Each structure stands twice: as C-alpha cells, then as structure tokens.
Amino acid sequence: MLIDTHSHIYSEDFIHDRDEALKRASESGIKKIVLPNIDSGSIKHMLDLADAYPQLCYPLIGLHPTSVEEDYKEELDAIDYWLQRRKFYGIGEIGIDLYWESKYEKEQKDAFRYQIRLAKQLNLPVVVHVRNSFDQTYEIVKEEQDGTLKGIFHCFTGTEEEAKKITELGFFLGIGGVVTFKNSDLDQVLSNIDPHHLVLETDAPYLAPVPKRGKRNESSYLIHIAQKIAEVYRLPLTRVAEITTSNARNLFGI
C-alpha cells in the first residue's frame, strides 16, 4: 500500500476522467490520497471530491503562495472560516514562491507565518511549497519551530545540505517524479539521507515520472516513484511502501 501525500486530482485537468483516475490509483496500490488546497476558488472542488471518496481522499486547507496578492488577508479569512466548520488533515499547500515574481514576497511571508501558527494551534502538519526561496522559507520554519511544528517540504529537489537542514527540523522530504528524471541528481542526494525521512507524492497533474514524463500526472503513477526509491536504497518495494506509508499515516493521522 502506498499513500500519495500530494495530489491535485480535484483540478479541472481531471474533469473528464476523475473517477477512472481514482480507480487506477486504487488498483495500483495507492489507497490514500492527500489533497492540498490552492486558494478559496479550489476549496469546493476539493471538498466535493473528499466527500465523494471519504476513505480515499483527505483534504488539507491552505493558501498557496502563488495565490497571495493584495487580498491575501481575505483569503486567510476563508481558511479560518473552513477550519471552524469541518475536519482537515493539515495546513497546505503553503510557503514561498519567488520563481515567477517577488512582488508579493512580504505578503507571502506574512501569509506563510500566519498559517504555520494556525497549524501549531490546531496540532496539524504543514505542507510547504518552496520555489526559488529555500533560504527565506527555511528561516521562517526554523524560527517557528518550537518542538510542535511538523510537516513536509513538498517536491524536494534541493541539495544534500538542504535535505539535512530540513530533516534536522523534524520535517519530511516529499519526493515526487523529479527523482526519476535523467537530468536530476536527486537520487544521489537521497542516497545519503535515511529513507525514514521520506514521504512519496505525485503533485498530480504536474511532474509525471519516467516513463510517463510529459503526460498528465496522476496518483496511479506513484508506483514509478516508489520503484525508483527502492532502486536508490536497494530495498524491496514492499519495504519502501512500509516506511513511507507509516510516515504519512503518522503525520496526517490517516
């Protein structure tokens, strides 16, 4: 059994075959899928899917950094509203993204810190998005780590030094399709990191792993990521599944 700790399978990319994609995931051994939120516009689609598949799909709530603009405080109010009305399994996807532009860097940092503090108050894990922003993101997480903060650095593609900094803070590394790419050295980085620090994810519909690279990603493709991790650590696939599933279960309480 595998757990996909990060899938946007509620997105419009699956509008024509969502049920079929979920069936393929289940048939591939992916028995639980964690759904990170983007912003107020994605909440209904995500919750509808979680309600339709309550034993398979587990929703998070959060404001994605690329959705942080002038109205970000109103977006955060929506997060507060929903947290008072139903169960979520974590705060995410949150973080800092300076890849596209840095215009709202201050607002992103404010929103990130606010949501981290929400997570600590509610004893929920965070799922952290980092893009062209490792130093800024790491510093905030380090400052906020009081022994209760827990979560995942989603879509980790960094250096061995960065991986060790993250794991020393008590966070997991979210490993996705990039580990299978020929032009990536992530497999070499991970070979020096204990596999007990890892969880697996697809980030569907993005970053499909080899041999599906270039196609729309989906949760059923998690098996290719797990197989690559088994190869990196020279472990049986069943052992990789056992380790990463246990990590995800314990973190999200699922």
Output the average pLDDT for the chain: 98
Is pLDDT at 202 greater than 90 in this prediction? yes
What is the domain-level CATH number for residue 214? 3.20.20.140
Whole-model pTM: value is: 0.98
Short-list 252, 221, 244, CA closest to 2: 244
Report pLDDT digits (tens) over 57-80. 999 999 999 999 999 999 999 999
**Is residue 89 within 8 Å of 34, Cβ to Cβ?**
yes
Q: How many domains does the chain have?
A: 1
Is pLDDT at 82 greater than 90 in this prediction? yes
Q: What is the mean pLDDT of residues 4-32?
A: 98
Q: CA–CA separation, 178 vs 200, rounded Å?
A: 11
Q: What is the mean pLDDT of residues 132-139?
A: 98
Q: CA–CA separation, 85 vs 14, rounded Å?
A: 27
Q: For tokens 């979680």, what's the residue?
A: 50
Q: What is the mean pLDDT of residues 206-213?
A: 98
- Residue 103 confidence (pLDDT): 96
**Is residue 79 within 8 Å of 118, Cβ to Cβ?**
yes
Q: What band does 158 get if pLDDT is binned at 50, 70 and 90?
A: very high
Q: Tell me what percent of the residues of the chain surpass a pLDDT of 70.
A: 100
Domain span at residue 74 reads: 2-252
Alpha helical stretches, state H, 100-154: 105-122, 134-144
**Is residue 224 within 8 Å of 211, Cβ to Cβ?**
yes
Q: What is the mean pLDDT of residues 134-159?
A: 98
Q: CA–CA separation, 218 vs 207, rounded Å?
A: 9
Q: CA–CA separation, 5 vs 34, rounded Å?
A: 5
Radius of gyration of the chain (CA): 17
Q: What is the mean pLDDT of residues 207-232?
A: 98
Alpha helical stretches, state H, 145-234: 160-168, 186-190, 222-233
Q: What is the mean pLDDT of residues 162-181?
A: 98
Is pLDDT at 101 greater than 90 in this prediction? no
Report CA torsion sign: 247, 251, 253, 254: negative
Report pLDDT digits (tens) over 177-195. 999 999 999 999 999 999 9
Where does residue 187 rank: exposed (0-12), middle (13-18), buried (19+ CB within 10 A)? middle
